[in-house]
Amino acid sequence: MRRRILLATGWAASCAAAAGVRPAFARDAFPSHPLTLIVPFGPATSVGVNARLLQPHLERTLGQTVELEFDQGAGGLPGHLHGTQVAADGYTMTMISASLTAQPWLTRGGVARPDDFAFVGQVTSFPSVLLVRANSPFHSLADLVGTLRDRPESLTTGQLIGWWPPALAQALFFLRAGVKARVVASYYGGSEQVVALSQGQLDFITVGLADVKPSLSTGLLRGLAVSSHTSVLPATPSFREQGLDVTTAWWRGLAVPKDTPRDIVGRLSAALRQALDDDALRSDFAHSGLSVDPMDGPEFRQMVTEEYKTIGMLFTSLGLNVQTPKQM
C-alpha cells in the first residue's frame, strides 16, 4: 500500500510538471516577489537618506523591487520592534542603527534587542571624534587626560541631548579614563557643539564625523581621537590605540527576524555586499557625504552585540539602566 501511495504521488507530481504546475512543496527561488525595508527614522534623516540611496542598488542585485517603509519616532524604538515582529521569510528587512544598542537599556516597555535579529550586514559607519581647537595646548589624548586627572572638572565640554553615539563615546571616555569634565551646555546637534568649540566656549567636544567634516578644511580644529579609523582624519589615532576602549559610532546595516532561514539570510547578505561593492553606489553615497563600510553578517552581529553589552555596563554605572541585563 505504501509503495502505491509513493508511486501515485510521484505520478501526480510528474503530471503537474507536464501541465506547467509546480508541486505545492516546491519553494520558489528567493526572492520571487517584492521586498520591504523598514526604516526606523524619517526620510530626511541620515538613516533615511542612507536607505533611499541603497534602495535602487539593492533592487538591482536582488532582482526585485524593495519598498521603503518609514516607521519613525521615539528614537527608532517602534521601527526596530516592528522589524522583529514581521514574518521571518526574508521579505521584510530592517535598517537597524546604533539606537538598537542604547535605547533598550533606557526603556521599560517592549523593545527590540540585538539577539532578536539575524544580521545581513553593515552598510555604513560614522566614527565619533574628540576635538579641540587647533591652538589648544592639548596635542594628544594623553595631554587632555593628564589635565583632567590633575584638575578634575577644570575643562569644559558640551553634552549632546539624547544618548546618541557621540554622547556615548564621551561618557565611555570619561569612564575608561577615570576623569571628569565640566559640562556647561546641552546641544541638540553636533554642529552646534562644533561652533561653540570654534568660538572658544568649550575646551573639547565629542561629535560624529558627519557634523565636523564641513569644518575640518578651516584648520581651526584638531582631532585627538576617533572611535575607528577614517580616511577623513588619517593622522588621528583611535581611542583604542591610545589605551581606551571607546568604539561607539553612527552605524547602520540590514537585519531580518532571528528565525529567518540561513540560506535566505545568505542570499540577502550576498546581494548587499554586491551592491556595496559597486562603484555607482559608492559615488552616490559620497555625493551625500556617506561612507561605505561593508561588514558581513557574523562580524556585524559580533560588533553590535559587544556594543550592546558595553552600553548596558555604562548605563548601569551611571544609574540609568532600567532593564535587567539580558545574557547574549
Please report the pLDDT score of residue 323 as a whole number. Answer: 81
The closest of 107, 83, 103 to 95, measured between CA atoms, is 83
What are the tens digits of pLDDT across the range 239-293? 999 999 999 999 999 999 999 999 999 999 999 999 999 999 999 999 988 999 9
Cell of 7: 508511486
Please report the pLDDT score of residue 69 as a whole number. Answer: 97
Please report the pLDDT score of residue 2 as a whole number. Answer: 35
Are 111 and 104 spatial neighbours (Cβ–Cβ below 8 Å)?
yes
Tell me the C-alpha distance between 279 and 283, whole Å.
6
When mean pLDDT is compared across 80-89, 126-135, 225-234, 235-244, the lowest value belongs to 225-234
Tell me the C-alpha distance between 38 and 194, whole Å.
32
Kindly report the pTM of this predicted structure: 0.86
Q: What is the mean pLDDT of the chain?
A: 90
Please report the pLDDT score of residue 172 as a whole number. Answer: 97
Please report the pLDDT score of residue 192 as a whole number. Answer: 94
Are 78 and 40 spatial neighbours (Cβ–Cβ below 8 Å)?
yes
First to last CA, the chain: 51
Tell me the C-alpha distance between 180 and 171, whole Å.
9
**19 or 150, which is more confident:** 150
What are the tens digits of pLDDT across the range 100-127? 999 999 988 889 999 999 999 999 999 9
Structural domains of the chain, ranges and CATH numbers in brackets: 35-125+249-318 (3.40.190.150), 126-242 (3.40.190.10)
Tell me the C-alpha distance between 169 and 217, whole Å.
24
Are 225 and 179 spatial neighbours (Cβ–Cβ below 8 Å)?
no
Q: If residue 54 lies in a helix (H) or strand (E), which one and from where to where?
A: helix 46-62
Are 186 and 169 spatial neighbours (Cβ–Cβ below 8 Å)?
no
What DSSP string describes 206-237?
A: EEEHHHHHHHHTTT-EEEEEESS--TTSTTPP
Q: List, in sequence order, every residue forming a beta bridge with 97; answer none if it has no partner.
A: 252
What's the whole-number mean pLDDT along residues 57-83? 95
